[in-house]
Amino acid sequence: MRAKALKVLIISYSFPPCSYGASTIMYNLCKYLPKESFHVITASSELATVQGDYDPEYALMCPTIRLPVRKYSAKSGLVFVLLAVLRGVTLFIRKEFKCILAVYPSEYDLYAAYMLRKITRKPLIIYMHDLFSEVKQSAKLYRILRFVERKIFSSASAILVTNEKFKQHYLKKGILNVIVLHSCVDLNRDERRMITSNVPPRRPGKLRIVFTGGIYAANEDAILCFLKAVEKLKDVEVVFATTCQKEYLKNVNIGFVPKKVCYELQKSADILLLPLAFKSPYPEEIRCAFPTKALEYLAANKPILAIVPKGTFCQEFIEKNQIGIVVTEPSEQKIAEAIEKLRNSTKLMTFHQNSMKKALLYNARRQAEKLYKIIRKVALNSE
């Protein structure tokens, strides 16, 4: 990266100390961008407290404008858009940025960035962690959002997506300015070293299966099937670390844990669980999805049990790279069989070795350098 930084305005509703999903990726990327190269407009840090994923150590020392928005709702979103545009215009008048980067999955980031693009004429880059119009269930609303999506995307100089299947989805829709910027994981050993924490001690003789992250429509039916399958097995210990408080988790969930504890918990596992829904209201997103936790699992250097629909990016990724076992139907019997295979697999050493090799390719430092090159190219081409 060059010494003289080119500034970008990052608009991201959710940002560290929020510690789930896109916030994790932005932490990993921004940690390795030159600190003088970006401003961030985001919601109040209280948003993380409301969402239940507040991690006081998971913060970045960078130029940040926090708007007085403390929850995620339609009303709060509109306030966010208005204030983000006003603050963005102020920064533009001061000549504080050359480019705008909107971070989805918050639609309000897209709206604010699009308006700033129109007002300032500065180039826009959109970083898509999920699909946009496809996740809306109402047919009428879907048509409206497809129109909005086309308007916003057509104004962007580049659309960044996290994998090739995601890219192919947009190319089929006629969106051509798509670039793959892979999700990333921070492999900084000082930050990821083992620490004393509240991770439950291992139960002697038990196979430990760990899941970390959110539980919602995109993975819940696979999780329910997994839990039923585990009931039929002996000597299996299940540990979930999630903000979800569903009744069916009461015997396995230790609740939200900070990132460093999350890493330690993942390393304590024998198997790491990666589920995606089979009856999702948004199947296109499931096919393209690559959850942030998947790369954390790679860095933990433990085999993955993926319970995901056939034809998904996750299935292809795990099978191609030989980092675990995939079950492609919601079958309790097949899930149980897969667990037993992992318990006794002669391929465990292969899984371990392949996981770390693959994690190196998704190193946050490498992906941050790629992002910065994209930003520079877009900004310089617009001058």
28-84 pLDDT, tens digit each: 999 999 888 999 999 998 888 878 788 888 888 889 999 999 998 999 999 999 999
Instruction: List C-alpha distances in Å: 25 to 19, 41, 112, 220, 342.
Output: 9, 16, 21, 23, 29
Tokens 């299947």 correspond to what residue?
165
Structure tokens at 294: 């998947």
Angle at the Cα of 46 from the Cα atoms of 45 and 52, rounded to 5 degrees = 105
Stated pTM of the model? 0.92
Residue 256 pLDDT > 70, yes or no? yes
> Is residue 120 within a helix (H) or strand (E), and if so which, with residue range?
helix 107-120
Model pLDDT, residue 192: 46
Give residue limits of the domains in the chain. Answer: 8-184+363-381, 189-361
Q: Residue 95's CB: how many other CB atoms inside 10 A?
A: 8
pLDDT tens digits, 157-175: 999 999 999 999 999 999 9
Calculate the average pLDDT of the chain.
Answer: 91
Structure tokens at 263: 């890493």
pLDDT band of 197, cuts 50, 70, 90: low
Q: Specify whether the CB–CB gap between 29 and 23 falls below 8 A.
A: no
Model pLDDT, residue 191: 47
If phi over 0 gives left and psi between -120 and 50 gives alpha, with beta otherwise, what is residue 366?
alpha
Provide the 3-class DSSP secondary structure of residue 210: strand
Query: H-type helices in 164-312, by residue range?
Result: 164-172, 189-192, 220-230, 259-267, 283-288, 292-300
- Cα(227)–Cα(336) distance, rounded to whole angstroms? 10
Q: What percent of the chain has pLDDT over 90?
A: 76
Model pLDDT, residue 139: 63
Residue 183 pLDDT > 80, yes or no? yes
Least confident stretch, 135-149, 230-244, 297-311: 135-149
Provide the 3-class DSSP secondary structure of residue 65: strand
Tokens 């667990």 correspond to what residue?
339
DSSP E strands in 213-255: the ranges are 236-241
- The residue among 333 and 19 whose pLDDT is bigger is 333
Closest CA relative to residue 58, chosen from 260, 276, 215: 260
Average pLDDT over residues 164-190: 91
Average pLDDT over residues 338-366: 90
Q: Residue 247's CB: how many other CB atoms inside 10 A?
A: 6
Q: List 135's β-bridge partners, or say none.
A: none
The residues, ordered by sequence, that sit 6+ positions from 305 with a Cβ below 8 Å of its Cβ are: 209, 271, 272, 273, 274, 324, 325, 327, 335, 338, 339, 342
Asked: is 189-361 a CATH 3.30.70.100 domain? The reply is: no
Q: Which CATH class is domain 8-184+363-381?
A: alpha beta
Model pLDDT, residue 230: 98
- Cα(164)–Cα(96) distance, rounded to whole angstroms? 33
pLDDT band of 8, cuts 50, 70, 90: very high
Residue 2 pLDDT > 60, yes or no? no
Which 8-state DSSP code applies to residue 33? S
Structure tokens at 155: 């104004």
Model pLDDT, residue 19: 84
Q: Specify whether the CB–CB gap between 269 and 283 falls below 8 A.
A: no
Say yes or no: do domains 8-184+363-381 and 189-361 share a fold.
yes
pLDDT band of 190, cuts 50, 70, 90: low
Which 8-state DSSP code applies to residue 37? G
DSSP E strands in the chain: the ranges are 8-11, 38-43, 64-67, 99-104, 124-128, 158-161, 178-180, 207-212, 236-241, 271-275, 304-307, 324-327
- Cα(78)–Cα(69) distance, rounded to whole angstroms? 10
Model pLDDT, residue 188: 79
pLDDT tens digits, 95-104: 999 999 999 9
Residue 189 pLDDT > 60, yes or no? no
Closest CA relative to residue 42, chosen from 90, 76, 6: 76
